[in-house]
Homo-oligomer: A and B are copies of this chain.
Amino acid sequence: MIIMFTTIVSPLFADLDILGHINNNVLGSWFELGRNDIFKIFTPDLNANFENWKLIMLKTEYEFLNQMFFGTDVEIRTYVFRIGNKSFTTYHEAWQNNILCAKGKATMVHYDFIKQESMTIPDNIRKELEQHLID
């Protein structure tokens, strides 16, 4: 059984561009908002500082399938796509009016910002991530 995370976002008027749809640049923020649930697995109180925070971004990708518009909420669905030794990949979808409008992935490294080096993902965190692993 996969436990999916969901987050609702309301588009801003300013998220529209001249073409009358939500500009593609916004998705980075929306998918990051969905990742808050993943961040809590690493830092439960979300107390982000140089000592506590353990994730650095390696790679993101976004695919735009259908245009999104202003005036209707968007559901962000967040899963884990891959768990490596020191890094893992999240998978994200944006749904509006029951249409899958965008999807994306983000690969983050488990990272010690003090030593500036990557770290193995501990077993307890790995087990939690596995609950959200999509096929």
Contact = CB atoms under 8 A, between A and B. Distances in A.
Given A13-B39, A29-B12, A32-B12, A48 B7 contact: no
Copies in the complex: 4
Interface string A13-38: 11011111001110011001101100
Interface residue tally of chain A, by bracket? 35 or more
A55 B1 CA distance: 41
A59 interface: yes
Question: Interface majority SS on A: helix, strand, loop or mixed?
Answer: mixed
Interface of A: 7, 10, 12-14, 16-20, 23-25, 28-29, 32-33, 35-36, 39, 45-50, 53, 56-64, 70-71, 113
